[in-house]
């Protein structure tokens, strides 16, 4: 479906980038997803030319025809990864090729052209390099959002013939705005995230749009996030609205729901599985029911639970609410396994710990 491109990225610097003092003020407390850098990367695709016209240019609105295919048939995918500032003033990415491969898998599922790994990586490198001053110091990072959508001007149910790939960046701090020691989650009784044969394993906007009503329900019940059960039996825990989940037991072992087409194969999830095994922690990828979750929390067998993802990193879960009541996990806060795994992961990501698996990609 895609042609292998030989692309040269043409740079068009921003004629009036944000002044350094105004940028510094924004970076003091950027929040999440509200502060954007000066530039973006764009690459076009057409059936006749393949991938072409790669540009690094000022961030600006996208001209879009009202009949653009994405607005009617939702052919759209995206990724999320972070750039971190190193002690020496450089910048690194964490496992970006895994993002490139997942982006390819998402494209195939939605009948979209596959962007080569090296082109994905070069696009991200180009943006991080030109907008390096937007990487916050301290615990902040530059959140990178590559995405692609169908922009053929056509009303008809078929794969588009034209696409636009874009990379933008946002300076970010903490994902969850809470002073609590752990987040609370709402078990959705009515809504599911994905079904077998659907797009659950793809990172597409439709999955997140379908989760918003359940997230609103969680907020109504005083919870930070929603947790979804499987679509077939409404019994098995799958994932949160935008994060994978792990359970830690009193014998030190861990469980996480298995991938099977309905759960997003998280890169943070994969990394934590490896880090846990490095520490000698027995990890099982197996189904875990909501009934068992409640029983194990009550008996004390379950000591910890945490959510994980690029944005949230590793976040402890303290309280679980459902229509039939609520229960607390462990002491209601974080736990030793959660904190140890988070420290190992963040240490590698930020270059303060050894990188035995070669996960770090140096941008400059």
CA distance to 84, 86, 127, 131, 269, per residue, from 25 (Å): 19, 21, 21, 16, 34
Tell me how far apart the alpha carbons of residues 339 and 336 are, in angstroms, rounded to a whole number: 5
What local confidence, expressed as pLDDT, does residue 5 receive? 52
Answer yes or no: 28 catalytic: no
Q: Please name which of 157, 165, 186 lies closest in space to residue 78, comparing C-alpha atoms.
A: 165
Which domains are delineated in the chain?
10-172 (3.30.470.10), 183-349 (3.20.10.10)
Tell me how far apart the alpha carbons of residues 332 and 318 are, in angstroms, rounded to a whole number: 4
Listed as ranges, residues in the chain with pLDDT below 70 are 1-5
What is the phi/psi pair of residue 252, to 5°?
90, -10
Q: Please name which of 345, 342, 340 lies closest in space to residue 357, comparing C-alpha atoms.
A: 345
Sign of CA dihedral 297, 301, 304, 306: negative
CA angle 172, 173, 179 (to 5 degrees): 150
Q: Which of 203, 277, 342, 362 is catalytic?
A: 203
CA distance to 36, 246, 343, 346, per residue, from 315 (Å): 24, 10, 12, 12
**Token pair 């009036």: residue:** 16
Q: Please name which of 39, 13, 2, 167 lies closest in space to residue 96, comparing C-alpha atoms.
A: 167
Is the distance from CB of 145 to CB of 80 less than 8 angstroms? Answer: yes
Q: What is the pTM of this model?
A: 0.95
**Token pair 């008809």: residue:** 156
Tell me how far apart the alpha carbons of residues 264 and 283 are, in angstroms, rounded to a whole number: 18
Tell me how far apart the alpha carbons of residues 42 and 232 are, in angstroms, rounded to a whole number: 40
What local confidence, expressed as pLDDT, does residue 352 receive? 94
What local confidence, expressed as pLDDT, does residue 2 receive? 46
Count of Cβ atoms closer than 10 Å to residue 28 Cβ:
11
Full DSSP string of 190-237: S--S--TTSSTTS-BHHHHHHHHHHHHHHHHTT-SEEEEEPTTTS-BE
Distance of CA 182 to the CA centre of its chain: 20
Rg (CA), the chain: 21
Tell me how far apart the alpha carbons of residues 34 and 16 are, in angstroms, rounded to a whole number: 20
Sign of CA dihedral 111, 115, 116, 120: negative
What local confidence, expressed as pLDDT, does residue 34 receive? 96
């Amino acid at each position: 479906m895609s042609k292998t491109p030989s692309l040269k990225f043409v740079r068009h610097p921003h004629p009036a980038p944000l002044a350094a003092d105004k940028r510094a003020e924004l970076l003091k407390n950027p929040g999440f997803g509200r502060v954007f850098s000066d530039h973006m990367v764009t690459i076009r695709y057409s059936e006749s030319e393949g991938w072409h016209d790669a540009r690094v240019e000022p961030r600006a609105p996208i001209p879009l025809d009202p009949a653009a295919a994405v607005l009617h048939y939702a052919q759209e995918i995206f990724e999320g990864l972070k750039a971190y500032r190193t002690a020496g003033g450089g910048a690194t990415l964490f496992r970006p090729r895994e993002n490139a491969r997942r982006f390819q898998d998402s494209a195939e599922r939605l009948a979209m052209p596959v962007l080569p790994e090296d082109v994905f990586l070069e696009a991200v490198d180009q943006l991080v390099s030109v907008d390096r001053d937007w990487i916050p110091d301290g615990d902040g990072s530059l959140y990178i959002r590559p995405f692609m959508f169908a922009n053929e001007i056509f009303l008809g149910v078929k794969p588009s013939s034209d696409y636009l790939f874009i990379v933008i960046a946002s300076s970010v701090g903490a994902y969850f705005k809470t002073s609590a020691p752990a987040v609370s989650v709402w078990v959705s009784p009515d809504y599911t995230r994905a079904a077998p044969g659907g797009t659950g394993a793809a990172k597409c906007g439709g999955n997140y749009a379908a989760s918003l009503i359940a997230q609103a329900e969680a907020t109504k019940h005083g919870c930070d996030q929603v947790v979804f059960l499987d679509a077939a039996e409404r019994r098995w825990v799958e994932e949160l609205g935008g994060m994978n989940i792990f359970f830690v037991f009193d014998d030190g072992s861990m469980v996480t729901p298995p991938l099977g087409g309905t759960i997003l194969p998280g890169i943070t999830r994969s990394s934590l599985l490896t880090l846990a095994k490095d520490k000698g922690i027995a990890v099982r990828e197996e189904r875990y029911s909501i009934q068992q979750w409640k029983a194990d929390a009550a008996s004390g067998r379950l000591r910890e639970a945490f959510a994980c993802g690029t944005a949230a990193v590793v976040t402890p879960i303290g309280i679980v609410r459902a229509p039939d009541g609520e229960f607390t996990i462990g002491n209601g806060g974080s736990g030793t396994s959660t904190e140890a795994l988070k420290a190992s992961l963040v240490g590698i990501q930020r270059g303060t710990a050894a990188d035995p698996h070669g996960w770090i990609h140096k941008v400059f």
